[in-house]
Amino acid sequence: MSEPFRGASGSGAVTVYTVPGDHQLRLEMLTFTLTTGGASGIHSAKVEFYDPSLAATTARIWDWNEGGAGMTLYYTFAIGLSAFNCTVTSGMMIPNRLPDTILQPNTTVIVTAVDGANTTIAGDAIGAVVGYGTFIDTTVDEDGGTVDIDGSFLPAGAIG
């Protein structure tokens, strides 16, 4: 069952959430407010997932709508939504499609305010961050017991 959770706020590029180390997360929806600063040009948002066990970004979802300076934009990234692309006005609610995936333990969800060249806009604020998702406990098996990982089929050094 989906559970809500609050994310961190900040400006520029913000790690809004880190999946607990003993869980996986099926992230079903992420909503936040982008309040753009006074810098001229295009203002938009990008959501990324970073998996430290792979030392890699596993998804990048860039909103292609074009906001401007001094706007308040309300974003919702969710499974099943359809994105649209246009020039937006202050106060608009902007939907974006979120991939249906399972985020691994310690994966970070990063929201970044970007311009048209994908450069971080440090003066833009990201706030009111809320996510909804299904948490999967990786320490308990289906029968309620502790999970024992058999690493014999994994590459050498995969389990520390």
Whether 16 shows a pLDDT value over 80: the answer reads: yes
Q: What is the per-residue pLDDT across 33-92, written as a single tens digit (0 to 9) for each?
A: 999 999 999 999 999 999 999 999 999 999 999 999 999 999 999 999 998 888 899 999
CA distance 12 to 102: 26
> Does 112 have pLDDT greater than 80?
yes
**Residue among 26, 22, 59 at smallest CA distance from 138:** 22
